[in-house]
Structure 1
Amino acid sequence: MSARVRLWVFLVGAAGFAVLFAVACFGLPAFGTGTGHHPYGVRAVHASLSHHTANVIASVNFDLRAFDTLGEETIFFSAVLGTVVLLRQARDEHRKDPEPAVVHPRVRRFALLMLPLALLVGLYVIAHGQISPGGGFQGGVVAATALHLLYIAADYRALERVRPLTLYEIGEAAGEVAYVITGLAAVLAGAAFLANVLPFGTFATLSSGGTVPVLNAAVGLEVASGVVVLLARFLDQAVEIEEPGEGDGSPRGAGDGGDNGDDERERA
Structure 2
Amino acid sequence: MRSPARTLLFAAGAAGTGSLFTAGTLGLPGFGGALHPYADRAVHQAVLRGTPNVVSSVNFDQRAFDTVGEELILLSAAVATVALLRVVRREAEDDGAAHRHGPAEVSDALRIVGYLLLPLTLLVGVYIVAHGQQSPGGGFQGGVVLGTAIHLLYLAGDYPALQRLRPIPVFESAEAAAAAAFVLVVLAAAGTAATGRVPALNAAVGTEVGCALVLLLGKFFEQALLVRERPAGEHSAGERRRAGGPREPS
TM range, normalised to the smaller chain?
Answer: 0.7 to 0.9
| Contact 1:51–1:210, Cα closer than 8 Å, also in 2 | no
CA shift in 2, pair 1:177/1:73, >3 Å: same
3-state SS of paired residue (1:97):
strand
Distance 1:122 1:255 in 2: 51
Match of 2:41 in 1: 43
Match of 2:191 in 1: 195
Q: Which amino acid aligns with 1:251?
A: H
3-state SS of paired residue (2:223):
helix
Aligned-pair CA distance for 1:229: 0.9
CA shift in 2, pair 1:53/1:109, >3 Å: same
How many corresponding residue pairs?
A: 225
Distance 2:146 2:47 in 1: 29
Match of 1:224 in 2: 210
CA shift in 2, pair 1:75/1:109, >3 Å: same
Match of 2:235 in 1: 251
Aligned residues with identical type, % of pairs: 47
Distance 2:200 2:33 in 1: 34
Match of 1:34 among 32, 37, 42: 32
Instruction: Trace 1:42-61 onto structure 2 (pairs within 5 A).
Output: 42-61=40-59
Write 1 or 2 for the structure with the bigger share of helix: 2
Aligned-pair CA distance for 1:86: 0.8
CA shift in 2, pair 1:195/1:258, >3 Å: farther
Q: Which amino acid aligns with 1:44?
A: A
Distance 2:241 2:202 in 1: 64
Aligned-pair CA distance for 1:54: 3.2
Match of 2:112 among 98, 109, 114: 109
Provide, for residues 78-111 of structure 1, a one-character-per-residue CA deviation record: whole Å limited to 9, x for no partner: 0111111111132452662223445433222211
Distance 1:154 1:256 in 2: 33
Distance 1:234 1:256 in 2: 32
Match of 2:3 in 1: none
Match of 1:237 in 2: 223
Match of 2:76 in 1: 78
Match of 2:185 in 1: 182
1:150 aligns with 2:133: no
Q: Which amino acid aligns with 1:132?
A: S
Distance 1:28 1:221 in 2: 37
1:141 aligns with 2:144: yes
Distance 2:126 2:244 in 1: 54
3-state SS of paired residue (2:74):
helix
1:98 aligns with 2:96: no
Aligned-pair CA distance for 1:53: 2.4
**Structure 1, 45-54 or 134-143: larger mean CA deviation:** 45-54
Task: Give ranges in structure 2 of 5+ residues lacking alignment.
Answer: 1-9
